Amino acid sequence: MQKILITGANGQLGSELQELTKDKSNYIFTDIAQSGTILQLDICDAAQVDAFICEHKIGGIINCAGYTNVDGAESNIDLCYKINADGVANLAKAARKHDSFMVHISTDYVFDGTRKRGTYKESSACHPNSVYGASKRKGEIAFRRSHCKGIIIRTAWLYSTYGKNFLKTMQRLGAEKKSIGVVADQIGSPTYARDLAKAILKIVPQIGDRRGEIFHFTNEGKCSWFEFAAAIMVYSGLDCKVNPLSTAEYPSAACRPAYSVLDKSKIRETFSVETPWWSSALKECISRS
């Protein structure tokens, strides 16, 4: 059975993949530090990546590793690019060398978010307006230039019962405060990491000889961060009022897309994956926590 490497195993998506594949012995999980059954692998070390893939006879890679602190990236530019661009290049080059496939996870932040309606398609022009978005776009380019087998999946607003994310932050604040303010003029699609993990596992056997093709996956529908937060309070049974704020009222180090709804028709039609409605997915996630 083909061995599949999953990087960034301690993150939200990596953790969901661990749970969904716990009965399968052909998945190997790694992160920057070894812990329990998770092995150590620094994707920024090209020689280490090549040796690991060779030693473990890896047939496929699902790259969940990444520098995801959007605001922190503005002051940690070198580290952000090292992980999100150079690390991807190292994995892709090794995958090409050893004839392995690769699924790379990217982001809606490759777009500037100036669109007012409709959706961003895979072919839409990329204009990242943050260090994080630019580093992820550079990682996409490195992946495609390697010509290794595999695909890129862009996602957005990822949350889970694992790791640090918007859902957990809102639940913590909702339990501590009577009211909070949340940005209401940034629109996107919340994505339950478990739904993305299920989609990836369904896609893996169907990749074939695709090389660098891009797909979009999020939960269906759209909302603002304010609407997302309000739904979290209701579904979590928290008596905390959510007040709408403008982006100008909540300044941050990084510029975020004002509108970044992704078109998912291509991934549904190509791989027959489901994109559940965002509020239904949120209810399911909260019920599991």
Q: 259 an active-site residue?
A: no
Contact (CB, 8 A) for 225 and 272: no
In 36-148, alpha helices (H): 46-55, 77-81, 87-97, 131-146
Amino acid at 174: G
Kind plus residue range of the DSSP H or E element containing 103? strand 101-107
How does DSSP classify residue 258? S
Contact (CB, 8 A) for 247 and 66: no
How does DSSP classify residue 125? P
Catalytic residue among 81, 109, 120, 132: 132
**Exposure b/e, 122-152, CB count within 10 A at least 16 = b:** beeebebbbbbbbbbbbbbebbbebebbbbb
Residues 6 or more apart whose Cβ sits within 8 Å of residue 31: 7, 8, 9, 10, 11, 14, 38, 40, 41, 65
Contact (CB, 8 A) for 130 and 74: yes
Q: Which two tokens stand for residue 24?
A: 């399968």
Contact (CB, 8 A) for 111 and 120: yes
**Euclidean distance between CA atoms 42 and 96, whole angstroms:** 18
Q: Which two tokens stand for residue 160?
A: 């889970």
In 147-192, alpha helices (H): 166-176
Q: Catalytic residue numbers?
A: 132
